[in-house]
Amino acid sequence: MDDFASGEKQMMRNATVLLAATLLAGCAKAPQNKQAQTLSAYDVEEPAPSAPGSPAAVAGPRIAYTYTVTYAFDRRTVGQVQGRQLALCRQLGPTRCLVVKSTLNAPGPEDHLVTDEAVLLVDARLAGELNRRLDALALAGGATLANRQVEAEDVTRQVIDTDARVRAKQALAERLLSIVRSGKGKVGELVEAERAYAATQEELDAARGEQAELAQRVAMSRVTINYAFDDTPGRQSPVRASLVTAGDTLATSLAALVTAAVAGLPWLVALAVVLALVRWMRRKRILRWPRGSQAAPPLS
């Protein structure tokens, strides 16, 4: 009886060892099969973009604001006003207000129409308050508000598409890089995987650049300030404007007359030379004709 029990236990041990060996063999073959499948299909399709209703796609609207304002000046205070406005922007720091461009033309004594410009990138949350402070500085400098425009562009769809493209390209690049690093497979397949990885990485960098540009457009509003200086004489007086216009007309006529005289002077000189030559030739003929008639023999 004891021999039978011991034999039965020995058979159970052998069965257990055999089952364990089978499982280990199966586990050892699984990674190889998986690696072979990966190498044969390394150029996989990109993951589908997030659905419009997914949490990754729904993050609120993305609006890019653009402001354009024009200040009119009739006094030479453009430089002072622009300097104060740019100083206000710089006080906020480059992360909240950045001077992108500024032009300032100093008008001369004869310059009556001058235009200047300044372009700022302002934190979208501070754009409204900053515009009010810019208006206050301009009005204090003797300017008047001539024009204001506000444009709002909804870039939500562009942001969602760009984010999805970045995620897809990044996932594809990671899969291709893992295949290249494994070093398993045929040489041709590995070379193709490296080429596909390089192309995918370039596309990923471009998508990330577009993503950063859209994020900046949403976070920082563009403010364009135009300065229009006009102190034309008679701009506010019709009588004075008429006198100025009459003077300009007379000056234009005199200038045209001088131009015509200078242009016609060479022709007048040439005509005088021709007339003098003709008169000289006629005088020579008149002096020679009588002498020829006296020397001729008389007719019988």
Pairing of strands 220-230, 97-103: unpaired
Q: How far is CA 298 from CA 64, 106, 133, 293, 295, in A?
A: 115, 94, 116, 10, 9
237: region left, alpha or beta (phi > 0 left; psi from -120 to 50 alpha): beta
* pLDDT the model gives residue 270: 83
Alpha-carbon span 70 to 228, nearest angstrom:
7
* pLDDT the model gives residue 188: 86
- The end-to-end CA distance of the chain, in Å, is 194
* pLDDT the model gives residue 135: 96
Q: How far is CA 276 from CA 41, 89, 262, in A?
A: 102, 78, 22
* pLDDT the model gives residue 238: 58
* pLDDT the model gives residue 203: 94
The continuous run of DSSP H or E covering 116 comes out as: strand 113-123
* pLDDT the model gives residue 244: 56
* pLDDT the model gives residue 267: 85
Alpha-carbon span 165 to 203, nearest angstrom:
9
User: Which spans in 41-126 are helix H?
Assistant: 78-92
* pLDDT the model gives residue 22: 46
Residues of the chain with pLDDT under 50: 1-5, 14-58, 287, 289, 293, 300
* pLDDT the model gives residue 247: 66
CB 137 within 8 A of CB 88: yes
Q: Give pLDDT tens digits for 173-212.
A: 999 999 888 888 888 888 998 999 999 999 999 999 999 9
* pLDDT the model gives residue 162: 94
What backbone torsions phi and psi does residue 116 show, to the nearest 5 degrees?
A: -135, 170
